Structure 1
């Protein structure tokens, strides 16, 4: 990746950090019609904060408008950049998930670090690795990048839906 060229090729998701996931997704559905929502308490592995192994847990809700994903994250146990964000800013837009073209995930992390945006929180969920880049001060929001394993077959069945399961043809 050349530092003079853009390496973000698209935005796939916007994410809110919140104290109460269920209350937030209810408001999004009831007040503006975004939903239905799928909600998980994912079993995360390989979790790190600022390069050091650190367990943490989150409640995660996702909904789609067309091909665009909305995500709501509530930190549960352990330190996380979501807890830090809530303590410093209160609830609000925490990050955007970006596409990086055909770049290799490890190369994207190396290039982001070279550009002054090292990963500040990382982990894995099923066949997906994710990293949040330290971009809040420079870019006014955090950026998330991810890598899906070639064996990725979709997210696991959610813990529950609000207010009902999505149609079978949804992008979930």
Structure 2
């Protein structure tokens, strides 16, 4: 395996799958003594350009983001459409889904990871950038998410 595949080792985010984002986000807020950030829903497929396992998907999810110092905690409640979120929640239940890293050069990173037997699971766009979930479960025991923000 090549070394330093992402060009960073700084974890930006931990993603956790949940069945009920409203209930779970309030539990997290109470546990940490912080304000509940509320939740937002991901964009529709035409805007998000969501693909799962190489095919366009209507998948959407409710997301809640907690700022935890230098790390972001993301709660994810997926809808029923095919996605890495739905598949993982169905197979493993609630709990950790991914660790995310901010990167530059999304296409190159995805190709490098694929070359190292870590294929792309899901990708999409969000306001100000893009994401990609990589199947690193066999090697790292967790999915890796790449986050690339547009340059300002």
Quote the Cα distance in structure 1 between the aligned partners of 2:77 and 2:26: 14
Give 1:79 shift: 1.1
Preserved contact between residue 38 and residue 63 of structure 1 (Cα < 8 Å): no
Runs (4+) of structure 1 moved beyond 6 Å?
A: none
C-alpha distance 6-122 of structure 1, shift in aligned 2 (>3 A): closer
Q: 1:70 aligns with which of 73, 86, 89?
A: 73
CA distance in 1, matches of 2:74, 2:132: 15
- 1:140 maps to 141
- 2:19 corresponds to: 19
Q: What residue number does 1:30 align with?
A: 30
**Counterparts of 1:149 and 1:38, CA distance in 2:** 25
Higher radius of gyration, 1 or 2: 1
Cα distance, 1:31 vs. partner? 2.2
- Separation in 2 of the partners of 1:42 and 1:34? 23
Aligned length: 148
- How far the C-alpha of 1:148 sits from its partner, in A, is 1.3
Partner of 1:97: 100
Task: Summarize the alignment of residues 1-172 of structure 1 with structure 2, pairs less than 5 Å apart.
Answer: 3-7=2-6, 8-44=8-44, 45-100=48-103, 103-151=104-152
Cα drift, residue 34 of structure 1: 4.9
**Which has more helix, going by share of residues?**
2
CA spacing shift, 1:5–1:131, aligned 2, 3 Å: closer
Q: Which moved more, 1:72-81 or 1:88-97?
A: 72-81
Q: Retained in 2: the 8 A contact 1:47–1:55?
A: yes
Q: CA RMSD for the aligned pairs?
A: 1.8
